[in-house]
Amino acid sequence: MKTIVILGSTGSIGTNTLDIVNRFPADFRVTGLTAGSNDEVLEEQIRRFKPRVVALSSEAAAAKLRRRCADFPVEVLSGQDGLAQVASLSEAELVVSAIVGGAGLVPTLAAIRSGKHIALANKEPMVMAGKLMQEEARRHGVKIFPVDSEHSAIFQSLEGHRLEDVRRLILTASGGALWTLSKDQLQDVTPEQALQHPNWKMGAKITIDSATLMNKGLEVVEARWLFDIPESRIDVLIHRESIIHSLVEYEDRSMIAQLGLPDMRTPISYAMRYPERLPLDLPSLDLTEIGKLSFCKPDHDRFPCLRLGYESLRIGGTMPAAMNAANEIAVDAFLNGGIRFTAIADIIRSTMEAHQSCEVNTVEAALETDRWAREKAESLVVSLAR
Ligand SMILES: NC(=O)c1ccc[n+]([C@@H]2O[C@H](COP(=O)([O-])OP(=O)(O)OC[C@H]3O[C@@H](n4cnc5c(N)ncnc54)[C@H](OP(=O)(O)O)[C@@H]3O)[C@@H](O)[C@H]2O)c1
C-alpha cells in the first residue's frame, strides 16, 4: 500500500490518477489532494477518497470548501503555503505532480525537499528549474518518475541499458490539432479548432501547446534534465498516430521504443507503481488494425515554437523559465480571444529576445524570471491585441 498526494487532482492527469487509485484500492491510499479553485470537484474527491488534508490555491474557494465539508473530517488549507504543506505531508511516500504551469514549481520542490518520490506530469517546473530540481532530488534521495507519455517511453526504453551507450533520444509528436493547416490558415484559427486534439483528451493549456508544438519544445527541455542528455542529442519526430510514444537510439544503431494506445493511465500507473506493472483493464493495441504508422520531420516554419525550446536550452540559465512564462501568458490570451494563434510564437520570441539570462542557482532566480517574463509578455499581448 503506497500513500500518495496528488497535486492538481481536479485536472486531466489528476482525475486519471484517481481512476487508477479507484481500480487498485489495495495498492494506494490518498492522504492529500490539491487544486486551484475547483471546490466542487474537490469536494466530490474528498468524499470519495477521504484524504486527511487538502489545499486550494484560491483563498475564496478554500473558504467555500470548508463550509461544504464542515460535516467531514478533512483539513482544508489554502494558498501557496497550503499547497506546499500538502506536498510535504509526513505520511506521503509519493507525490503525483499534476498542477498545470509554473504554479507547480514551489509545491513540487517542497515535495522533493521533504524526501517524497515524484511522479512528474507537471513539466513546466522542470523547464523553469530543471537543474535545481535534479540537484535537490539527488540531495534528498528522491526519484523522479516521468508521467509525460514521451518521457515515460524513454524511461522504459532506457531500462537495463547504459546511459553511455545512448546515441540520441527521439521524442515523438502528434503535431496537434492544426498540423495540416497552411501558414495563412493558422492566422485565423479559433481556440475551439486548436482545442481539437486528434489523439489525447487533456487540459486546455497543454492542448494549445500541442497545437503550437511548444509542448514539444517544453518536452525537449524536460528530457534534457530528466535524462541528463544535451539538446544536441534530442530529436523530434512527427508521428500523427501517437502509437510509438518515443524512442532511444543506441550507439550500435539499435532503436528501442515503447508503444501503446494513447491512454495516460498507462504511464501514470507505471510512475506510481514502478517497477511493477498494474494489470490495467484497457483495450490492447492491435497493430493489424492500425496497419500503417506514419512519420515526418517537424515543420519549423509553420510551427516555430519547437525551435524556441531548443534555443532556450542553448542559451541556458533562466532563458527556459522566461520562455515558459511568456508561453503561459500567450496561451491564456489566445484562449480568451485576445490574440491570434500565430501571435503566441511572436510573444514568446520577443520575450526571449528581451531577456538577459542568468544562472538558476536558487528557486527565487527562476521565480523572479517568471515574474519578469509574465509582465513583458502581458505588455506584448496588449500591443498585439486583435
Ligand atoms: N493531460 C495530459 O494528458 C498530460 C499529458 C502529459 C503531461 N501533462 C502535464 O501535466 C500537467 C497537468 O496537465 P492537465 O492536462 O492535467 O491540466 P488541467 O486539466 O488543466 O489540470 C490542472 C490542475 O492544476 C490545478 N491548477 C491550475 N492552476 C493552479 C494554480 N495556480 N495553483 C494550484 N493548482 C492549480 C487545477 O485546479 P482547478 O481544477 O481548480 O483549476 C487542476 O487540478 C501539465 O503540466 C501538463 O503539461 C498532461
Cβ atoms of 149 and 264 within 8 Å: the answer is: yes
At position 149, the amino acid (one-letter code) is S
Tell me, in angstroms, the distance from the centre of ligand 1 to residue 122's CA.
Answer: 7
Name residues of the chain where pLDDT drops below 70.
none
Closest approach atom of ligand 1 to CA 215: 47
* Measured distance CA(29)–CA(9) in Å, rounded: 14
* Measured distance CA(216)–CA(181) in Å, rounded: 18
Which one, of 204, 189, 195, lies nearest residue 177 by Cα? 195
Using CB distances shorter than 6 Å, the residues near ligand 1 are 8-14, 35-38, 57, 83, 98-100, 103, 121-124, 148, 200, 202-203, 205-206, 264
Q: Where are the beta strands (DSSP E) in 254-354?
A: 255-259
Instruction: Please name every residue paired with 258 in a beta bridge, in sequence order, or none if there are none.
Output: 246
* Measured distance CA(99)–CA(7) in Å, rounded: 6
Q: Whose CA is nearest to atom 5 of ligand 1?
A: 148
Structural domains of the chain ordered from first start = 2-146 (3.40.50.720)
Looking at residue 386, its pLDDT comes to 82
pLDDT in tens, 273-324: 999 999 999 999 999 999 999 999 999 999 999 999 999 999 999 999 999 9
Closest approach atom of ligand 1 to CA 122: 45
Closest approach atom of ligand 1 to CA 8: 43
User: pTM surpassing 0.85?
Assistant: yes
Looking at residue 197, its pLDDT comes to 86
Q: Where are the beta strands (DSSP E) in the chain?
A: 2-7, 28-35, 53-56, 75-78, 94-97, 117-120, 144-146, 166-173, 234-238, 244-250, 255-259
Bridge-based pairing state of the strands 166-173 and 75-78: unpaired
Tell me, in angstroms, the distance from the centre of ligand 1 to residue 218's CA.
Answer: 15
Q: What letters, b where the CB count within 10 A reaches 16 and e where it falls short, cover 190-220?
A: ebeebeebebbebbbbbbbbbbbbbbbbbbb
